[in-house]
Amino acid sequence: MHRVCLNKSESKSPAVAIGIFDGIHLGHQNIIKELTKHEGSCVFTFNPHPRPGTKLILPFSERLRILKKLRVSTVLVATSKDKIFKQSAEDFIEATLIKKLNAKLVIVGEDFKLGKNRETNAKEFKIMCNKYDVEVKIMNDLKYEEQKLSSTFIREQINNANFTKVEKLLGRRYYIKGIVCKGKGLGQKIGFKTANITPHKDLMLPAGGVYSVITKIDNSEHKSVCFVGNDPKLIIETHIPGIDVNLYGKKITISFIKKIRETKRFNSITDLANAIQEDIKNSV
């Protein structure tokens, strides 16, 4: 495990929130809001995701950035090398919460599970902690249209391009970040220069298609058209109308607004250029 200090705190008896917090959606924010009412707020989380193969709504660096913005003091990160994944809940309470963190209050979600094979639920965990004079506060799950708000549900909405719903669930637009890299150069040849990024291999991406997006460069935002390929190894290509500067090496943020159309093959370069022109008209 390693510790990341985000904001200064003098407290030696922290409140601790435990969870993966992928996406830091409104349910997670509800837990964090309760956590930061107390001095020395500590988030105990995991990197990589404890369930291998899970596509991430946010890369770990973005989770840390948002947690800092939400005024969390410290993040304690468990990795795949740590013994915690083989520990019982009781061992975790003694070794980590008591000896390592000196925790007095632990905040978890209603669907919290802990211990080897996730054998201990939130209510059982609360009873165990009470034996050590550690208070546990269980936060109720939030719901959206009778559906439990969860990272799994949000991934489904991203895949289905329901970005208005995703924005409501996250409390912000769904976005990806990346460093602009060189592509095949086809867009420039036909008059539609693109900024290309290679997303993290574990990141949750929308299904292949053409999307209306907002591209942020430095502090300026631009209405844009983004192509996401069906092959996960493909780079993401974004055309920013009116921008004709060298963006190589720049970090950009692409926020998804709506899906314009599915991917398709074109019989000629002229047909492709006409389609892109139509995509621009149908963008934001």
Mean pLDDT of the chain: 92
pLDDT of residue 183: 78
Least confident residue range of 60-74, 119-133, 178-192 = 178-192
Q: Tell me what the mean pLDDT of segment 29-52 comes to.
A: 94
User: Residue 118 — very low, low, confident or very high, per pLDDT cuts 50/70/90?
Assistant: confident
Please give the biggest Cα pair distance in the chain. 73
pLDDT above 60 for 198: yes
CA distance 269 to 64: 44
CA distance 44 to 97: 10
Least confident residue range of 80-94, 129-143, 145-159 = 80-94
For each of the domains in the chain, give its residue range(s) and CATH number, in order of start: 2-148 (3.40.50.620), 175-281 (2.40.30.30)
pLDDT of residue 116: 78
Query: Which residues on adjacent β-strands are paired with residue 147?
Result: 144
pLDDT of residue 190: 83
Residue pair 150/27 in contact (Cβ under 8 Å)? The answer is yes
pLDDT of residue 11: 59
Task: Using alpha carbons only, give the angle 166, 5, 95 rounded to the nearest 5 degrees.
Answer: 95
The pair of structure tokens assigned to 85 is 């994944």
Give the whole-number percent of the chain exceeding pLDDT 90: 77
CA distance 89 to 112: 12
pLDDT of residue 280: 94
Q: Tell me what the mean pLDDT of segment 155-180 comes to.
A: 97
pLDDT of residue 12: 59
pLDDT of residue 71: 95
Q: Tell me what the mean pLDDT of segment 187-205 comes to.
A: 87
CA distances from 178 to 59, 75, 216, 251 (A): 11, 24, 11, 5
User: Residue 208 — very low, low, confident or very high, per pLDDT cuts 50/70/90?
Assistant: very high
pLDDT above 60 for 157: yes
User: Residue 10 — very low, low, confident or very high, per pLDDT cuts 50/70/90?
Assistant: low
Residue whose C-alpha is closest to residue 205's, from 181, 225, 177: 177
pLDDT of residue 232: 59
What is the signed CA dihedral for 62, 66, 72, 78, rounded to 10 degrees? -20
CA distance 90 to 41: 22
pLDDT of residue 40: 85
pLDDT of residue 86: 84
Least confident residue range of 4-8, 63-67, 154-158 = 4-8
Q: Tell me what the mean pLDDT of segment 93-105 comes to.
A: 94
Residue whose C-alpha is closest to residue 107's, from 2, 217, 27: 27
pLDDT of residue 261: 96
Give the whole-number percent of the chain exceeding pLDDT 70: 96
User: Residue 98 — very low, low, confident or very high, per pLDDT cuts 50/70/90?
Assistant: very high
